[in-house]
Amino acid sequence: MSTKNLEMPKIALGAWAWGNDGTFGGTLTESELRPVFDEAMKKGLYLWDTAFVYGMGTSETVLGNFLKNVHREQYLISTKFTPQCADPNAENAVTAMYEGSVQRLGTDFMDIYWIHNPLGAPKWITELIPLAKSGKIGKIGVSNHNLAELKQAEEILAKEGLHISAVQNHYSLLNRSSETSGILDYCKEKGIVFFSYMVLEQGALSGKYDKDHPFPEGSARAKAYNSVLGKFDELLECLKNIANAHNVGIAQIPVAWAVAKGTLPIIGVTKTSHVEDAAKAAELVLSASEMENIESCAKRADIDVIRMWEKEMK
């Protein structure tokens, strides 16, 4: 429990793809991911987001193996309780899943611990209370919660002298429902850090994929995006023009946009070049007219990406 002095970086890195659960297509080995991890730590990107459900422990195990040789004061870890994976026989399913993460990640303190989604809410936030009171969690977070669910969780915790410090929702140029539904403003008002996930739409806004270069067949990404590739070409062109003007890669622009919107993006990284881009994007400043331009193009695309585990935020 010794990460109190470590500041929250502007960007977190996500390790869902490290779980090799078929979402991303292809498989990644630990030896392929090692340089990605090392590069990130070198670049000061030390906040890692994962979950037991990412490959049913695989992502946490890979990350835990890398963290073994790193001093606990040098990284922040963010992992999650996923209701769908709750052990029905456990006395306290949240504590039970947390203890599994402790084993895999090799640390008994989670800087952020999340209720991954509102299935069965508010049961799980209530079960989290003893764990939070034991001092084993830095910040309590809720993910995929709408405003009403977020407020309900807050009310329950407030009665115990605890509070929500972080929210993690889908937020990108192709899904701004956390903004339009008032969650972003609410978080700002309450000093809650808003973590934006899938800012790159799993690569669809990275410049690597388009209708001529679709996602690998057989992956969940292919299912979700291949049919809409071609419908936001103007947005991709706009991102490309702005990237060229700054002499950076296309993928840096949506990330810089998300930072400028006051959010903390979690970027999924599978290559060292992704880490380099993420680090640069954290420092990239977009002008007001560039921000306006990007948002207008995104609006004209008229696409709202809602994935199968998500709902419309109202």
Minimum separation from the CB atom of position 159 to ligand NAP (A): 26
Q: Which of 266, 286, 297, 298 binds ligand NAP (CB under 6 A)?
A: 266
Minimum separation from the CB atom of position 274 to ligand NAP (A): 4
The contact pattern for ligand NAP, residues 246-265, with x = CB under 6 A and - = no contact, is: ---x-x--------------
- H-run or E-run covering 42: helix 30-42
- Residue entry with tokens 């003893």: 130
Q: Which of 20, 101, 168, 175 binds ligand NAP (CB under 6 A)?
A: 168
Q: Which of 131/199 has CB closer to ligand NAP?
A: 199
Interatomic CA distance for residues 169 and 177, integer angstroms? 9
Interatomic CA distance for residues 50 and 138, integer angstroms? 16
Q: Which of 130/313 has CB closer to ligand NAP?
A: 313
CB atoms within 10 A of CB 229: 18
CB under 6 A: which stretch of 61-69, 89-97, 199-207, 256-264 binds ligand NAP? 199-207
CB atoms within 10 A of CB 247: 6
Distance from the Cα of residue 104 to its chain's centroid: 20
Interatomic CA distance for residues 175 and 312, integer angstroms? 9
198 sits near ligand NAP (criterion: CB under 6 A): yes
**Distance (Å) of CA 137 to CA 69, 84, 101:** 22, 21, 12
Supply the angle between the helices 272-283 and 30-42 in degrees, to the nearest 10.
20
**Between residue 84 and residue 123, which ones bind ligand NAP under the rule CB under 6 A?**
116
The single-letter code of the amino acid at 105 is: L
Minimum separation from the CB atom of position 201 to ligand NAP (A): 5
Structure-block tokens of residue 221: 């990404």
143 sits near ligand NAP (criterion: CB under 6 A): yes
Count of residues interacting with ligand NAP (CB under 6 A): 28
Residue with the shortest CB distance to ligand NAP: 268
CB under 6 A: which stretch of 61-69, 132-140, 180-188, 266-274 binds ligand NAP? 266-274
Q: Which of 58/143 has CB closer to ligand NAP?
A: 143
Interatomic CA distance for residues 215 and 220, integer angstroms? 9
**Between residue 61 and residue 80, which ones bind ligand NAP under the rule CB under 6 A?**
none
39 sits near ligand NAP (criterion: CB under 6 A): no
**Distance (Å) of CA 274 to CA 24, 145, 270, 277:** 15, 28, 7, 5
- Report helix, strand or coil for 194: strand
Q: Which of 160/218 has CB closer to ligand NAP?
A: 218
Interatomic CA distance for residues 32 and 48, integer angstroms? 17
Distance from the Cα of residue 186 to its chain's centroid: 19
Q: Which of 130/218 has CB closer to ligand NAP?
A: 218
Interatomic CA distance for residues 70 and 57, integer angstroms? 20
Q: Which of 277, 284, 290, 297 binds ligand NAP (CB under 6 A)?
A: 277
Q: Which of 274, 279, 284, 313 binds ligand NAP (CB under 6 A)?
A: 274
Interatomic CA distance for residues 52 and 75, integer angstroms? 18
Q: Which of 133/211 has CB closer to ligand NAP?
A: 211
Q: Which of 17/282 has CB closer to ligand NAP?
A: 17
Interface residues toward ligand NAP, by CB under 6 A: 14-17, 24, 49, 116, 143-144, 168, 197-203, 206, 208, 249, 251, 266-270, 274, 277
